[in-house]
A and B are shown apart, each in its own frame.
Chain A
Amino acid sequence: MKILPFFVIIPLSAAFLISLLGKKIKNFGDIIANLGTLSLLILSLNSVQLANAHKILVYKMGNWVPPIGICMVLDGLTSFMLVTVNLVSFLVAIYSISYMERYTDKYRFYTLFMLLLAGMNGIIVTGDLFNLFVFLEIASIASYALVAFGTEAEELEASFKYAVMGSVASSFILLAIALLYSYTSTLNMADISLVLSQKGRGMLINLVAILFLAGFGLKAALVPFHAWLPDAHPSAPAPISAMLSGVFIKVLGVYALCRVFFNILGVSSAISFALIILSIISMVVGAFLAIAQQDIKRMFAYSSISQIGYIIFAFGIGSPLAILGGLFHLFNHAVFKSLLFLNSGAIEYSTGTRDLKKLGGLNSQLPVTGYTGLLGSMSISGIPPFGGFWSKLIIIIAAIQAGYFLSAGVAILVSIVTLAYYLKFQSHTFFGKLNETRLKVKEVPLAMSLSMIILAIICVIAGFLLIPIFRPFLQNAVNVLLLGKGYKDAVFGAIR
């Protein structure tokens, strides 16, 4: 239980140490960042075992009893998200040892990267609503700076638009927290749930729910609020695109949405209906706009919008099987979308371009990149027996079981469209004729290929998460969300 503060201490201290000493000692940033992410990965795997043994653990900060003090909560959903985030960030940190050599200020990159990681870890472990807002802002500001890292003209434009839209969303979230505080006069998540069950839901709670949906929906790139994503994700350097698309929109958007709606406010049928409608529009819009793209990373960004639609659709349905499918798809998408973005970074590193019209036939020159990209694309399109197939199957079966036949049909159709544009990506990039000017491209360095190979292996064996030995990893997370308002009883029971 005492390991919970370390998820925030380690990245914060690494960030400020790198900022202080990174310029003077050579390679200091690399060593500290990789050591830090490795230790976080080991701690999060430890936390899975802890959450399995005791169902819920509460850590009081500074020995102040909540609701007077801030508490940190470790339950099944927390440990699941911690493993996802720290696994992807460890592999991205290894990848960026070689990729970021071509930018001048590598130690500043590592500072911002560790701050982003500290923010995301803080959002996951906290049990207090305003603490969630503060960590959300830390992560958001770090990501605005990271998108503009290369300081080319297009990156600055994308970062400015992203920053303005993200700030408006954060102000919606703060307004919702202020209204909720005026109604319940407490900020602890379990305590808000307790007061709401005693006082009853008023009209104000509906306004709060809509504001939270708008704010977290913009961070998660649901469809009316998705306009920043296709500009911001391609402009960032490739490891940051992998982090943003892989874990950032899930932690800030999907996880925070679930925590607030399932455990604090309670899901009404109106909210579920709104989530299902928005997610179906996301799936369709993302998929159809992705076919027409010529830039690799822009196509992947639209594909992210489409897949987030799948995850929110599963949470909108709300049955136990659907939530299992949604969480499994969240884990799968984190793994294969970061693999695909790292892949596009490797293509850009070797050939210098991201345009589909100019690439072709790279399979002979870049074998590792080619095969890992093939595995990632097959997994995201839902081809058996890779991981993506199982999660999409569970979501569609749950949709049919709950009676949403039209939505299940749309989901199957979008899956076929996904297969179409990933086949287009593969055929234009790796298969086909090789351009003569490209005969001299070499394979990417070892650090980059190592992280891509590990991610590809996880893609392939992800289906094994469903067999009964590993099932508790997902099932604990599902049980926390199904607990719903029982979260407050669990937390108050665990505070001694």
Chain B
Amino acid sequence: MKNKEVGMTLIVKTITRLTVGLILLYGIYIVLHGHLSPGGGFAGGVIIALSFIHLMLAFGKEVALRKLSESWASIFESLGAIMFLSIAVLGFIGGYFFLNFFIQKGKPFELFSAGIIPLCNIAISLKVGAGLFAIFAVLILFNKSGDK
């Protein structure tokens, strides 16, 4: 009885094991430096989602879903949106919606500067990354018997 191989060939699996952590780290770098160089929340979020999708394509869906199940993806997505809205509502402290309310905005071109923009980037990347992975997972999990 042949043991059915899930996923792609051995070469793809080896390279994936080496690079998927680097892709995740690269995505986080783009999110955090969104106010200094091109990128920001959306681009970084897509790269983070791509690292999980890469795992799913190379190893099959069980391995990837063990790392991030689709219910957790849904929770992260809503958490990202609520975080973004609460940062915007906190602007009311300074008097206006979406105001950049940090007193100390830091020096330009540093990592810790520009007020609320890095926090907004993190919230957006959470939502976009989790959302994209959730779309992909749901489309994979939909099978012909009308499930989900």
Contact = CB atoms under 8 A, between A and B. Distances in A.
Q: Do these two chains interact?
A: yes
B74 interface: yes
Interface string A13-26: 10011011000000
A62 B99 contact: yes
Contacts of B89: 9
Contacts of A16: 78, 81-82, 85
Nearest to A5: B97
B78 A61 contact: no
Interface in B20-35: none
Interface residues of B, number: 18
A59 B103 CA distance: 22
Given A9-B89, A19-B74, A20-B75, A63 B82 contact: no
Contacts of B95: 63
B42 to A, nearest CB: 14
Given A9-B89, A62-B91, A20 B96 contact: no
A428 interface: no
Interface in A9-45: 9, 12-13, 16-17, 19-20
B94 interface: yes
A60 interface: yes
A61 B97 contact: yes
B52 to A, nearest CB: 20
A442 to B, nearest CB: 31
A190 B120 CA distance: 29
Contacts of A60: 96
B100 interface: yes
Contacts of B88: 9
A63 B85 CA distance: 17
Contacts of A62: 91, 96-100
Contacts of B97: 5, 9, 59, 61-62
B82 A20 contact: yes
Interface in A57-112: 59-63
B144 to A, nearest CB: 14
B65 interface: no
B64 interface: no
Contacts of A59: 97
Given A62-B99, A62-B100, A63-B99, A17 B82 contact: yes
Interface string B93-126: 0111111100000000000000000000000000
A17 B78 CA distance: 7
Interface in B69-91: 74-75, 77-79, 81-82, 85, 88-89, 91
Contacts of A5: 97
Contacts of B82: 13, 16-17, 20
Main secondary structure on A side of the interface with B: helix
Nearest to A63: B96
B100 A20 contact: no
Contact of A20 (B79, B91, B94, B98): B79
Contacts of B91: 62
A144 B85 CA distance: 24
A43 B87 CA distance: 23
Contacts of B100: 62
A19 B78 contact: yes
Nearest to B85: A13
A427 B40 CA distance: 61
Contacts of B81: 12, 16
A328 B28 CA distance: 54
A135 to B, nearest CB: 15
A19 B82 CA distance: 10
Most chain A CB atoms below 10 A, which of B79, B88, B97, B99: B97
B7 to A, nearest CB: 31
A61 B95 CA distance: 10
Interface in B50-74: 74
A13 B95 CA distance: 20
- Please indicate which of the listed interface residues B96, B99, B100 has the most CB atoms of chain A within 10 Å of its own CB: B96
A59 B95 CA distance: 11
A13 B75 CA distance: 14
A171 B77 CA distance: 27
A19 B74 CA distance: 8
Nearest to A151: B146
A164 to B, nearest CB: 19
Given A5-B97, A60-B96, A61-B98, A20 B85 contact: no
A69 to B, nearest CB: 9
A63 B79 CA distance: 27
Given A62-B99, A63-B99, A12 B85 contact: yes
B66 to A, nearest CB: 22
A152 B31 CA distance: 41
B99 A20 contact: no
B5 to A, nearest CB: 34
Nearest to B88: A9
A381 B66 CA distance: 60
A61 B100 CA distance: 11
A19 B97 CA distance: 24
Given A16-B85, A62-B97, A62-B98, 14 more contacts: A9-B85, A9-B89, A9-B97, A12-B81, A12-B85, A13-B82, A13-B85, A16-B82, A17-B82, A60-B96, A61-B98, A62-B100, A63-B95, A63-B96
10 contacts: A9-B85, A9-B89, A12-B85, A16-B82, A16-B85, A17-B78, A19-B74, A60-B96, A61-B96, A63-B94
Closest 3 CB pairs of A and B: A20-B78, A5-B97, A62-B98
